[in-house]
């Protein structure tokens, strides 16, 4: 009994003290849960109390018990009737890994709404985002690196899975502690994925989801860095060919619409004569020859 009274005394902002004899039973928010996800977001959800009046509106507060600092959440989500059933804090980088007090109270014209609360330490409610693997490799050696992000935890355990070659059943699983990297010798071709969890030492920490798988092709001599270069050369070649074909098409069409008529002065034709069409007509076998020449020239570079 004295323990209960002591804890009430130590939590002056708790619902226990706000408990209101006039509060309508069953009107309070139910099933309040809060969790942290994707590093920066603190999200809470609850259900509208089954006996809540039609005009109920809920408010979520995050309270730091030792300083009584409180923040009301602003990004609420609502149900189809406009009643709030969730809220998200979208930048929690300034919070410490404290034991916080999450409180939902409510307002209504019709009746008083009791409050609902939970207490939680932020690192315990974080759903860790999976790290993503980066790395370099050659025929004899591969180095994979990753980084786990969290504002509230810094000590992690990782599970790394490596699928060798094209055979999906050939799987190696490695546990990595206190390191953000893993090395392989004579790696060949493989695919790796990773997940992490807090290394707090107690049972029941949950794993992050798996990272997207990353494949490493280490046995061909071309390094990964050469790919963007080759791609741009191929694209450049294609574009040049396309441009040449289009230009040739255009000039042969102009030629068909304005065939050279002797004796009549034609300003449009004069214009083309003064420019490039003269040269073009001099070699006039049609546009095919033109494009073939250009393609060969590009192909040789």
Ligand X SMILES: *[C@@H]1O[C@H](CO)[C@@H](O)[C@H](O)[C@H]1NC(C)=O
Contact between 70 and ligand X (CB under 6 A)?
Answer: yes
Q: How far apart are CA 115 and CA 105, in angstroms?
A: 4
Stretch that binds ligand X, among 74-82, 133-141, 167-175, 247-255 (CB under 6 A): 133-141
* Candidate ranges 132-140, 156-164, 186-194, 266-274; the one touching ligand X (CB under 6 A): 132-140
Distance CA 120, CA 47 (A): 19
The one among 40, 45, 55, 61 contacting ligand X by CB under 6 A:
61
Residue 63 C-beta: closest distance to ligand X, Å: 6
The residues facing 175 across adjacent strands are 159
Least separation in angstroms between residue 18's CB and ligand X is 7
Q: What DSSP line would sit under 102-143, residue for residue?
A: EEEEEE-SSSBEEEEEEEEEGGGSEEPPPP--EEEEETTEEE
The structure tokens 């034709």 sit at 269
Residue 154 interacting with ligand X (CB under 6 A): no
- Note whether 31 binds ligand X by CB under 6 A: yes
CB of 90 to ligand X, least distance (A): 20
If DSSP codes are grouped into helix, strand and coil, which group holds residue 238?
helix
Name the one range near ligand X by CB under 6 A: 136-144, 173-181, 238-246, 263-271: 136-144
**Residue 225: CB minimum distance to ligand X, A:** 13
Whose Cβ is closer to ligand X: residue 61's or residue 280's? 61
Please pick, from the candidates 11, 16, 30, 161, the single residue that binds ligand X as defined by CB under 6 A.
30
H/E element holding 4? helix 2-10
Is the separation of the CB atoms in 130 and 195 below 8 Å? yes
**Distant-in-sequence, close-in-space partners of 280: CB < 8 Å, separation ≥ 6:** 251, 255
Q: Is 103 in the site for ligand X (CB under 6 A)?
A: yes
Under the criterion CB under 6 A, does residue 16 sit at the interface with ligand X? no
With 0-12 / 13-18 / 19 or more C-beta atoms within 10 angstroms meaning exposed / middle / buried, residue 106 is buried
Residue 105 near ligand X by CB under 6 A: yes
Does the footprint of ligand X cover residue 141 (CB under 6 A)? Answer: yes
Q: Is 249 in the site for ligand X (CB under 6 A)?
A: no
Residue 219 near ligand X by CB under 6 A: no
Query: Does residue 245 touch ligand X according to CB under 6 A?
Result: no
Q: Is 267 exposed, middle or buried (0-12, 13-18, 19+ CB in 10 A)?
A: exposed
Identify the burial level of 263 via C-beta atoms within 10 angstroms of its C-beta, where 0-12 means exposed, 13-18 middle and 19 or more buried. exposed
**Candidate residues 50, 96, 222, 265; the one interacting with ligand X per rule CB under 6 A:** 50
Binding site for ligand X (CB under 6 A): 13, 30-31, 47, 50, 59, 61, 70, 103, 105, 107, 138-141
């Amino acid at each position: 009994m004295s323990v209960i009274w002591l804890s009430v005394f130590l939590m002056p902002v708790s619902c226990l003290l706000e408990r209101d004899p006039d509060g309508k039973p069953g009107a309070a928010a139910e099933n309040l849960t809060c969790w942290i996800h994707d590093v920066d977001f603190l999200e809470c959800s609850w259900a509208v109390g089954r006996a809540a009046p039609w005009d109920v509106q809920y408010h979520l507060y995050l309270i730091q018990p030792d300083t009584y600092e409180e923040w009301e959440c602003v990004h609420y989500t609502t149900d189809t009737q406009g009643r709030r059933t969730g809220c998200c804090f979208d930048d929690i980088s300034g919070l410490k890994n404290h034991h916080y007090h999450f409180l939902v109270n409510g307002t209504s014209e019709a009746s008083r709404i009791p409050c609902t609360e939970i207490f939680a330490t932020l690192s315990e409610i974080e759903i860790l985002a999976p790290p993503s693997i980066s790395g370099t490799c050659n025929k004899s050696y591969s180095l994979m690196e990753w980084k786990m992000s969290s504002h509230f935890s810094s000590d992690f355990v990782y599970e790394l899975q490596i699928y060798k070659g094209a055979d999906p059943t050939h799987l190696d699983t490695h546990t990595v502690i206190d390191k953000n990297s893993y090395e392989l010798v004579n790696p060949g071709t493989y695919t790796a994925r990773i997940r992490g969890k807090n290394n707090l030492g107690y049972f029941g920490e949950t794993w992050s989801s798996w990272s997207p798988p990353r494949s490493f092709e280490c046995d061909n001599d071309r390094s990964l860095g050469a790919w963007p270069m080759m791609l741009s050369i191929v694209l450049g070649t294609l574009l040049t060919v396309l441009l040449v074909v289009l230009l040739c098409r255009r000039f042969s069409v102009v030629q068909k619409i304005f065939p050279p008529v002797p004796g009549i002065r034609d300003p449009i034709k004069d214009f083309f004569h003064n420019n490039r069409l003269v040269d073009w007509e001099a070699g006039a076998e049609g546009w095919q020859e033109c494009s073939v020449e250009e393609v060969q020239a590009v192909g040789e570079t």
